[in-house]
Amino acid sequence: MGALLKLTIIGVLLAALGERLVQFSHRINLFREIAPVDLPNCQLLKGIEYGAEDIEILPNGLAFISSVST
């Protein structure tokens, strides 16, 4: 009978721990989906296949893009 009681207590503790983990993941939006955004003023630049590391935009609209190309 002692083994059954231990197994029941372990099961209850694991269920409580699992419930807390689910509540925590909902609170921090762990499994949220991010909707794609269509930006109207973006232009594809040739020669930059891997994205920019840093973009500095001047007040006149000119942008300096630093990236690593391989």
Q: pLDDT tens for residues 45-54?
A: 777 666 667 8
Please state whether the predicted TM-score (pTM) of the whole model is above 0.75: no
The overall average pLDDT reported for the chain is 83
Is the model more confident about 40 or about 3? 3
Whether residue 70 is predicted with pLDDT greater than 90 in this model: the reply is no
For the chain, give every domain's residue range: 2-34+45-66
Q: How far apart are CA 30 and CA 20, in angstroms?
A: 14
Q: Answer yes or no: are the C-beta atoms of 67 and 53 closer than 8 Å.
A: yes
Q: pLDDT tens for residues 32-44?
A: 788 888 878 877 7
Question: Number of C-alpha atoms within 13 angstroms, CB side, residue 34?
Answer: 5
List, in sequence order, the alpha helices (H) in the chain.
Answer: 2-27
